[in-house]
Amino acid sequence: MTHVMACIDNSQSSLAVCDYAAWASQRLSAPLTLLHVLDKEKYPASADLSGNIGLGSREHLLEELATLDAQRAKLALEHGQHMLEKAHERTLISGAISPDLKQRHGHLVESLSDLQDDIRLLVIGRVGEDSTRSAQSLGSQIEAVVRTIHRPILITASHFKKPEKVMLAFDGSATAHKTVQMFASSPLCTELPIHIVMVGADSEDNRKELEKARSTLVSSGLKTEAEILPGEVETVLQAYQAEHMIDLLVMGAYGHSRIRQFLVGSTTATMLRTATLSVLVLR
């Protein structure tokens, strides 16, 4: 787990991905890798004509179609390489040092799963090039990536803004404390003010759990404010983010229930869909 890995495609969000990846690479003192995955469903590596022998004139047509597919795939690979080179230039301007370029042919989630032993932090845009959704929506593959990749994932906003204030969503669970410990041990947000927010009743038990989390962050040298607020989780967190001009939201992927072991936690999934700022998901 050594590299910051950034997923690049032809979407507008790739510019923000480059900038956030360069920022994270510098903060973590970790090498940066830029990855482009050519979808094998859109651009098959080769056509399978087995079973078509004996079709006569149709066989020739199928061979011509296979040739066209191969030409399309070759052009797509060249276009992907050009995108990587442009992303390389962008990250150098943003302060990255000698990013590596990597291109793969396959499915995004499968490719990332194969590469995750080398990933310290994955940086990916909220919406990919194939999405018809707005920049404030969530791309169709993001939840699949979060379910599959057991690494921290930074899901970027549509435009880069250097993080200056961070909010950590906390629910008092054992998983949430592990998230706090993981965050406290990372240099990603050192020297930045951290707001740890718990949504729920202002009870003695909740105050105890929140203070424990705050102490963990403070003992790591992080400037930390902690609050318990009543209301609906998503509404409260979004209002707090707007009021305090938070730039980065940090969340764990899972909540209390073991039933969610193969799913993204419901609050996390909702926040990923509705948040307009960048979200760091910790596993």
Q: Which residues contact 48 (CB under 8 A, 6 or more apart)?
A: none
Query: In DSSP terms, which residues pair with 224 in a beta bridge?
Result: 194
Task: Tell me the Cα Rg of the chain.
Answer: 22
In the prediction, which pLDDT does 125 show?
92
149: left (phi over 0), alpha (psi -120 to 50) or beta: beta
Whole-structure pTM value: 0.83
In the prediction, which pLDDT does 42 show?
60
Where do the H-state alpha helices sit in the chain? 13-28, 57-93, 108-115, 142-148, 174-184, 204-219, 233-244, 266-274
What's at 107, amino acid-wise?
H
Q: Are strands 166-170 and 100-106 parallel, antiparallel or unpaired?
A: unpaired
- Top-confidence residue, 158 or 135: 158
Mapped onto helix, strand or coil, the DSSP state of residue 138 is coil
Topology, domain 3-42+76-156 = Rossmann fold (3.40.50)
In the prediction, which pLDDT does 135 show?
45
In the prediction, which pLDDT does 65 show?
66
Tokens linked to 11? 């979407």
Task: Determine the Cα–Cα distance for residues 96 and 22; give it in Å rounded to an integer.
Answer: 5
CATH (one of 3.40.50.300, 3.40.50.620, 1.10.357.20, 3.40.30.10) for 166-282: 3.40.50.620
Confidence class for position 257, pLDDT limits 50, 70, 90: very low
pLDDT at 172 over 50: yes
Query: Taking the C-alpha atoms of 42, 47, 51 and 54 in order, what is their torsion angle to the nearest 10 degrees?
Result: 120
Domain spans, the chain: 3-42+76-156, 166-282
In the prediction, which pLDDT does 256 show?
42
Query: Taking the C-alpha atoms of 121, 123, 126 and 130 in order, what is their torsion angle to the nearest 10 degrees?
Result: -120
pLDDT at 224 over 90: yes
- Fold agreement between 3-42+76-156 and 166-282: yes
Mapped onto helix, strand or coil, the DSSP state of residue 33 is strand
Task: Determine the Cα–Cα distance for residues 58 and 52; give it in Å rounded to an integer.
Answer: 9
**CB neighbour class for 182 (10 Å; exposed up to 12, middle 13-18, buried from 19):** middle
The 10s digit of each residue's pLDDT in 2-61 is 899 999 998 888 999 999 999 999 999 999 999 999 876 565 555 554 454 455 556 766
In the prediction, which pLDDT does 158 show?
87
Task: Determine the Cα–Cα distance for residues 254 and 197; give it in Å rounded to an integer.
Answer: 16
Share of the chain above pLDDT 90, in %: 57
Measured in residues, the chain has a length of 283
pLDDT at 213 over 70: yes
DSSP 185-215: T-STTTTS-EEEEEES---HHHHHHHHHHHH
